[in-house]
Amino acid sequence: MPEGSARGPNIRDIESLRIERPASSPPKRRLVPAAIALAVAAVIAAGGYAVYTRTFGRPLPVQIAVATVRAGGQPGVLLTGSGYVVTQHKYIVIGTKILGQIVEEPIEEGQHVRRGDLLARIDDRDYQAQLQQAIATRDLAAANVRLREAQAARTRELFHNQAMSRDQLDIAENALAVAEAELKRSQGAIDYARFNVGQCVIASPIDGIVLHKYRELGDTINYGGDVQAGGGATDIVQLADTTDMRTEVDINEADIAKVTMGQPAAVIPDAYPDKSFAAFVAKIYPEADRQKGTVKVEVKLRDPDLRIIKPEMSAKVTFMAVEGRPNSMRASAPLVIVPKKAIVTEGAASAVWVVRDDAAYRIAITTGREFQDGIEVRSGLAGGELVIVEPPADLKAGSRVTTTAP
> What pLDDT was estimated at residue 192?
92
Residues 110 and 210 in one domain: yes
Model pLDDT for residues 358-383, shown as the tens digit of each residue: 899 999 999 887 776 788 898 898 88
309: in domain:
yes
140: in domain:
yes
What CATH number did the domain enclosing 188 receive?
1.10.287.470
* Beta strands at 208-213 and 235-241: parallel, antiparallel or unpaired: antiparallel
Helix, strand, coil percentages, rounded to 5, for the chain: 30, 35, 35
Amino acid of residue 369: R
| Calpha distance 85→311 (Å, rounded) | 5
| Calpha distance 145→229 (Å, rounded) | 53
Residues 69 and 81 in one domain: no
Domain boundary among the residues 215, 242, 269 is at: 242
| Calpha distance 354→391 (Å, rounded) | 10
Q: Which stretches in the chain have pLDDT values below 70?
A: 1-35, 37-57, 70-77, 223-232, 322-333, 372, 405-406
Question: Which of the 8 DSSP states describes residue 256?
Answer: G
Half-sphere exposure of 152 (CA within 13 A, CB side): 17
Query: CA of 6: how far to CAs of 2, 3, 16, in Å?
Result: 7, 5, 20
| Calpha distance 351→376 (Å, rounded) | 12
Contact present, 361 and 36 (Cβ < 8 Å): no
189: in domain:
yes
Q: Which domain holds residue 249?
A: 77-88+244-320
Question: Which distant-in-sequence residues (6+ apart) come within 8 Å of 381 by Cβ?
Answer: 67, 336, 338, 352, 354, 363, 365, 387
| Calpha distance 282→277 (Å, rounded) | 15
Model pLDDT for residues 324-371, shown as the tens digit of each residue: 554 444 444 677 889 988 999 988 899 999 998 889 999 999 988 777
| Calpha distance 381→406 (Å, rounded) | 20
> Which SS3 state, helix, strand or coil, does residue 141 take?
helix
Contact present, 244 and 280 (Cβ < 8 Å): no
Domain boundary among the residues 168, 199, 230 is at: 199
Residues 108 and 210 in one domain: yes
| Calpha distance 406→399 (Å, rounded) | 20
Residues 337 and 304 in one domain: no
> What pLDDT was estimated at residue 68?
82
385: in domain:
yes
| Calpha distance 389→339 (Å, rounded) | 7
Number of domains in the chain: 4
| Calpha distance 276→340 (Å, rounded) | 13
What CATH number did the domain enclosing 307 receive?
2.40.30.170
| Calpha distance 107→120 (Å, rounded) | 8
Q: What is the mean pLDDT of the chain?
A: 80
| Calpha distance 377→339 (Å, rounded) | 10
User: Cα 376 from chain centroid?
Assistant: 29
